[in-house]
Amino acid sequence: MFTLREIKELIRTLDGSSLTHIELEREGERLILKKERPHKAAASIGGQATIDGYVAVPQPLANLQVPIGSTTEAIGSKTSDDASHGTKEETGDEAGITFIKSPMVGTFYRAPNPDAPPYVNVGDAVQPDTVVCIIEAMKLFNEIVADVKGTIVEVLVQNGTLVEYGQPLFKVRTTS
Based on the domain organization, do 128 and 45 belong to the same domain? no
Average pLDDT, integer, range 12-24: 76
Query: Does some domain include residue 72?
Result: no
Based on the domain organization, do 114 and 160 belong to the same domain? yes
Phi, psi of 170 (to 5 degrees): -135, 145
Based on the domain organization, do 56 and 100 belong to the same domain? no
pLDDT above 90 coverage of the chain, percent: 40
Based on the domain organization, do 170 and 96 belong to the same domain? yes
Query: Residue 7: which pLDDT band, with cuts at 50, 70 and 90?
Result: confident
Query: Does some domain include residue 75?
Result: no
Based on the domain organization, do 101 and 52 belong to the same domain? no
Query: Does some domain include residue 120?
Result: yes
Domain carrying residue 19: 4-63
Based on the domain organization, do 90 and 15 belong to the same domain? no
- Measure the CA–CA gap between 142 and 136, rounded to whole angstroms: 6
Residue 75 pLDDT exceeds 50 = no
SS3 92: helix
Q: Helix/strand/coil (H, E, C) string of 8-49?
A: HHHHHHHHCCCCCEEEEEECCEEEEEEEEECCEEEEEECECE
Based on the domain organization, do 119 and 38 belong to the same domain? no
pLDDT at residue 12, rounded to an integer: 78
- Measure the CA–CA gap between 106 and 128, rounded to whole angstroms: 22
Counting other chains too, the contacts that 17-26 makes at CB distance below 8 Å and 24 or more residues apart are 17/162, 17/164, 18/164, 19/105, 19/162, 19/164, 22/105, 24/75, 24/76, 24/137, 24/138, 25/64, 25/72, 25/75, 26/1, 26/2, 26/75, 26/138
Query: Residue 65: which pLDDT band, with cuts at 50, 70 and 90?
Result: very low
138-160 pLDDT, tens digit per residue, is 888 999 999 999 999 999 999 99
Based on the domain organization, do 38 and 101 belong to the same domain? no
pLDDT at residue 27, rounded to an integer: 75
82-125 pLDDT, tens digit per residue, is 444 444 444 445 778 999 999 999 999 999 998 999 999 999 99
Based on the domain organization, do 142 and 169 belong to the same domain? yes
- Measure the CA–CA gap between 151 and 171, rounded to whole angstroms: 9
Based on the domain organization, do 166 and 90 belong to the same domain? yes
Query: Does some domain include residue 56?
Result: yes
Average pLDDT, integer, range 28-45: 59
Based on the domain organization, do 162 and 85 belong to the same domain? yes
Tell me how many domains the chain contains: 2
pLDDT above 70 coverage of the chain, percent: 66
Mean pLDDT across the chain: 73
